[in-house]
Amino acid sequence: MIRLLFAIIGGVLLGGVVHLVSVLALPRIATQDAYSRLTPITKLNAVTALPLASPNSAPMPFMDPAFAVAICRYDLSSGPIKLAVPVSQAYTSVSFYTRNDVAYYAINDRSAGRRVIELDLMTEAQHAELPEDEDVTAADRLIIDSPSQTGLIVLKALAPEPGLMPQAQAALAASSCKVQTEPPVKQAERPQAKR
């Protein structure tokens, strides 16, 4: 009898371990997470506009229907990414997610402070390789460190009224996200943004 009790208590304790391990493993083994859902419908290292969220089809659950959304799925193995997003009339934001859907950085048009949000995205190793220059005037770009080699950049533009949706979509259509080809010779770092 006492043995049975031990087996039950041992089972529950072991269950706790199983629970912790599975919670930590779930983001890695999930097949229907946002990155996996977006992989077949987005281009790598380029901006892809997502279809508007509608009751019958939405690429992801809980999408805000008031926003035009575009995705740049990135892979930094061939070099840093340059991102430029023109600001739409109402509200524009750029959010960065790792391969496992952790939002590690987000910025909106007001904190970017100008007509085009311009960012350089690179891994920490690529950032460390950048030449430490004196203040070069041309380089007033933000540098973002990506914790993972691959991930998602989500560009969003608000349509405050349904009639303004084409405008929001047009702003995103003019944005670009591409691998930086020329080596970044003369680039100073701006004070790095907070994560």
Partner 1 sequence: MRLILLTLLALIIATAVGIGATWMTATRGTELGTLTIGAWTARPRTGTAEVDPYSRASIARSGELPVGTGDGIAFTATTDDRKKPLDGRCDVLVSGVTPAARFWTLTLYDTNGHLVANSLQRYGFTSQEIVRSSDGAFEVRIASRSRAGNWLPTGGIERYALMLRLYDTPVGVATRTQRDAPMPSIATVGCP
Site for partner 1, rule CB under 8 A: 3-4, 6-8, 10-19, 21-24, 26-27, 30, 32-34, 36-37, 53-56, 58, 60-66, 90-91, 93, 95-97, 100-108, 110-111, 147, 152, 154, 156, 158-162, 195
CA distance 64 to 47: 19
Q: Which is nearer to partner 1, 3 or 137 (CB)?
A: 3
Q: Which is nearer to partner 1, 17 or 138 (CB)?
A: 17
Alpha helices in the chain (DSSP H): 2-29, 34-38, 109-112, 124-129, 165-173
Please list, in sequence order, all residues whose beta carbon lies within 8 angstroms of the beta carbon of residue 177, skipping any fewer than 6 positions away: 45, 46, 47, 72, 74, 81, 82, 83, 84, 153
CA distance 27 to 33: 8
Q: Which is nearer to partner 1, 104 or 123 (CB)?
A: 104
Q: Nearest approach, Cβ of 46 to partner 1 (angstroms)?
A: 19
Q: Nearest approach, Cβ of 39 to partner 1 (angstroms)?
A: 12
Q: Nearest approach, Cβ of 136 to partner 1 (angstroms)?
A: 26
Task: Work out the number of other CB atoms within 10 angstroms of the CB of residue 47.
Answer: 22
CA distance 25 to 79: 29
Q: Nearest approach, Cβ of 54 to partner 1 (angstroms)?
A: 6
Q: Which is nearer to partner 1, 93 or 187 (CB)?
A: 93
Helices and strands per DSSP (H, E), number in the chain: 5, 9
Q: Which is nearer to partner 1, 7 or 170 (CB)?
A: 7
Q: Nearest approach, Cβ of 128 to partner 1 (angstroms)?
A: 19
